[in-house]
Amino acid sequence: MLNEHTLDQLRGLRLDGMVHALADQATSTAATELNFEERLAMLVQREIDWRDGKRLTRLLKAAKLKVASACIEDIDWRGSRGLDRSLVTTLAGCDWLRHGRCVLITGATGVGKTWLACALAQQAARSGFTVLYTRAPRLLEELRVAHGDGSFGRRLAQLARIDLLAIDDFAIAPVTAAERNDLLELLDDRVGTRATLITSQLPVSAWHEWLNDPTLADAILDRIVHAAHKIALKGESMRRKQVMP
């Protein structure tokens, strides 16, 4: 019989994984055949696994992924989509996040840009990185409002601390002068230190014209395009086929 006082002490120390492991060992005949060191190792590993699981749950909740079920393991590798398996495998290793690089995913509507972005973002969270998914129009509106209530600087600082900022639907609508400036401020805080993932229906070559200000366009694109990993998705709309990418 387990000592309830000991279990309460473990709960007080927030060792919940160890509490569950002890309960399992108490009802396992196999556990009785193990020596003290082996049983202790199992308890410690269970606690580590428990904490890793809780952290992943927190990271995924904070990420607010549009497609929470998207994951690298479920990618559709059909050749017609233009996906480079070796590149995606490299991205799954998350070195691009450690080095503050960008990933730019382009393609027509429905080809799976958002799904792939969420799969890469989920992989980042599984590797312990903080993540935030947002749509570009919503992000720019949030920053506009932040100017008005005086929280702009604080919000920029918060965004600058996120390991991976995934911006969906980039360049989907005309951009104002104020929004161009906000984009520059946002990206300048991240260049070389934090990773950014961007999806867009427009090819990267059209972003300069979309920004509609040569000087600011040069500054913005210099921070996200050079040395970025680029994925240009092709093919028919996945929604039309009703097939998950």
**Does the pLDDT value for residue 133 go beyond 90?**
yes
The chain-wide mean pLDDT, for the chain, equals 89
Per-residue confidence band for 243, with pLDDT thresholds at 50, 70 and 90 = very low
Domain boundaries of the chain, sorted by first residue: 4-61, 64-241
For residues 71-80, give the mean pLDDT. Answer: 84
Residue type, 89: T
Write out pLDDT tens, residues 167-176.
999 999 999 9
pLDDT score of 244:
46
Residue 143 near residue 176, CB atoms below 8 Å: no
Superfamily of domain 64-241: P-loop containing nucleotide triphosphate hydrolases (3.40.50.300)
Alpha helices in the chain (DSSP H): 4-12, 16-26, 36-63, 85-92, 95-98, 113-126, 136-149, 152-160, 177-188, 207-211, 214-224, 238-241
pLDDT score of 208:
97
pLDDT score of 241:
55
pTM over 0.75: yes
Query: Terminus-to-terminus CA distance in the chain, angstroms?
Result: 51
